[in-house]
Amino acid sequence: MSRDQELKERWSLVVEKLSNQFADGETLDLDAIIYLIGVQELGQLDRKFKKDHKLDLMHIAICKLLTPYGYYEFDFVDKDGWPHYKVKEQLPSLKAGEQSVLMKEAIVNYFIETEYIQ
């Protein structure tokens, strides 16, 4: 199976499982999945978040997801429990489609690592 096909199948599995678990079967989009990862990484699962915190949560997720690629490095957790990352390398200029593929690959790898999927 080609790498692209394998990514496509694993991405579909992630979307299906998360949509069933968190959205009553409504299909979650990429941003919603990134948000869920941010909530998971923060570890404050019972909390309601304001709009500005939702963007912060997505930032946490993106940093976590791109750490294995060498773009970010975990730095510290602040007094409120929020993780902080530092930039190790600037992201290259990517077209929208390339960004999407990178994020989907990073998300799939995250859920393989956390054993949510195989």
Q: Where are the domains of the chain?
A: 3-113
**What does the alpha-carbon distance between residue 38 and residue 63 come to, in Å, rounded to a whole number?**
9
10-14, 15-19, 45-49, 102-106: lowest mean pLDDT where?
Answer: 45-49
Residue 14 has pLDDT above 80, yes or no: yes
Checking if the pLDDT of 99 tops 70, the result is yes
How far apart CA 24 and CA 68 sit, in angstroms, is 31
The DSSP symbol for 90 reads: P
Q: Do 68 and 53 touch, CB atoms closer than 8 A?
A: no
Q: Does the structure show a pLDDT above 80 at 1? A: no
Q: Residue 106 — pLDDT band, cuts 50, 70, 90? A: very high
Model pLDDT for residues 37-92, shown as the tens digit of each residue: 999 999 987 888 888 899 999 999 999 999 999 999 999 999 999 999 999 999 88
Alpha carbons 72 and 69: distance in angstroms, whole number: 8
